[in-house]
A and B are shown apart, each in its own frame.
Chain A
Amino acid sequence: MGIFHFLTRKTKNKSIFCGLDSSGKSTIISFLREGKFVEHVPTMGKDMTEMEVQGIRLNLFDMGGQSHFRQMWLGELDDTKCVVFVVDKSDPGRFAEAKAELAKLLPVISKKKIKLLIFANKHDISKDVQLSQLINEFELEKLPNFELLEISAKTGFGMTDAFIKFYSILTGQVIKKNAVASAISIYSNGGIPLITQAKNDDEFDKNILEGGFLSAITAFAEMKVNNSCIKFESKDNGTFLILKSQNFIGALLWNDKLNITMDTSEGALKELLDHLEAIGVYKQPEKVPDVVEQYVTNMM
């Protein structure tokens, strides 16, 4: 091992996120990093994010999607292990343009045996656009290898599954999704129930969470504390964690069977509430159930 080993810093586990402008690349990366929706200005050229997951360092290069920057994409493929091509699923009018840009990358992707992952983003506003339509429009069936996943970096739909896929492609390691709750309920800050979701749609857990704790939630709603968690232990059902943010109250049913620490579940509940605050859904309470339903795909 020579001195140059210490002087040269190689980029390991490098991935590049490409796709047209406004397809959501930066939002996806920040969601993966922070677990919530963050609005971004357009990426000026490129931006690099480093993440360490289970002891493995990942480098995510966010490539500007404006036509001015697209020529840079090819130049970044050299030491890249995985290309994540992001498509705005809600904008079929730009599918042809996106397809043409992807086509420019494909010869190098194929030659260098780089893995290709396609994220069909903005699923929250394009549920009627089927993956089969994308496969047809992009002629993906002609590609030897690719993975295509529907996600929404706004609501969080499918983000954990997308990350699991991305991580395994990039590192060759398997990462397991852990459920962080048996059931989750979201209330308005006045204690009005908005939605309850249970793991595997378990009615029993759902009823426990919805039924028994309404008075506690109502009492909690009157307390002027944000971001402080209260816990009720129930001998038969597990522990109920209740947390308040500015506009919502979240309740979660935790038990030993989840094989996850209570702190992790509390952190996940906090992230969900932060996410709901970040996307400003409190202004439209009727949209809360849909947003929670999509985000909870990551939690159970």
Chain B
Amino acid sequence: MSSTVLVSIISGLEGRVGSNPKIITIYPDNLDATEEFILERSLPHGALPDQFFEDKLDSRKILVYTFEIQKDGRNDLASIGLVLDKDVIIANLQPIIKRLVKRLNSENLLTLEIFQESLPKIIDGLNKESKIKIGSMIFDVKSILNEENLELKEKSRKARGMF
């Protein structure tokens, strides 16, 4: 089975005074584009929390989900950008990403640092449709897909007919 997520990017704009938008991490770091170009696509202008954006990056589709990270002062704006394989059904991936972020938030695990550390596990879990374990939280991608009756990828069409 080919990967669902080819590259993932975490970006953020912190709520503190003097902050600026920045890429927090790229995994795996193999994008052939400038940092500015990647940032423009992974944290688009006008983005507000809890929004999805779709664009092209490195001639592939990128799905971006923006969310809010609770802080003592002003909250941060952050995003997860996923560069996807062409067969991915974006509409089916969206609820999984949204549920993952919501779950991390409810478990007090939604910080840029934890996201940065756990990104390989998240991508692995999405690609293998398996369990993602972050701290004491277990997010089971497969069981959510089954529960919601969703497939992340288009089924390959077999040639039919007589040759």
Query: Interface of A with B (CB < 8 Å)?
Result: 21-22, 39-42, 44-48, 66-68, 94
Contacts and interface: CB of A to CB of B under 8 A. Distances in A.
Contacts, number: 52
B14 A42 contact: yes
B76 A41 contact: yes
B45 A42 contact: no
Secondary structure dominating the interface of A: loop
Interface of B: 13-15, 17-21, 43-49, 68, 74-77
B77 A42 contact: yes
Given A39-B74, A41-B74, A44-B13, A68 B20 contact: yes
Contacts of B49: 41
Secondary structure dominating the interface of B: loop
Contacts of B47: 44-45
Contacts of A42: 13-15, 19, 74, 76-77
Q: Which of B18, B43, B44, B68 has the most CB of A within 10 A?
A: B18
Nearest to B78: A41
Contacts of B75: 39, 41
A44 B22 CA distance: 11
Given A46-B45, A47-B48, A67 B15 contact: no
A21 B18 contact: yes
A119 B6 CA distance: 47
A41 B15 contact: yes
Contacts of A41: 13, 15, 48-49, 68, 74-77
A68 B21 contact: yes
A67 B68 contact: no
Contacts of B20: 66-68
Given A41-B49, A44-B46, A47-B48, A66 B19 contact: yes
Contacts of B45: 44-46
Nearest to A41: B77
